[in-house]
Amino acid sequence: MALDPDIAARLKRNDDGLFTAVAQERDTGTVLMVAWMDDTALERTLDTRRATYWSRSRQEYWVKGDTSGHTQYVHDVRLDCDGDTVLLVVDQVGAACHTGNHSCFDTPSLPLRGREE
Give the per-residue pLDDT at 44: 97
The correct answer on CATH 1.10.3720.10 for the domain covering 5-92 is no
Give the per-residue pLDDT at 114: 86
Tens digits of residue pLDDT in 38-50: 999 999 999 999 9
Helix (H) or strand (E) holding 41: helix 39-48
Contacts of 102 (CB under 8 A, 6+ apart): 30, 32, 92, 95, 96
Query: Which DSSP category does 84 fall into?
Result: S
pTM exceeding 0.85: yes
* Rg of the chain on CA atoms, in Å: 15
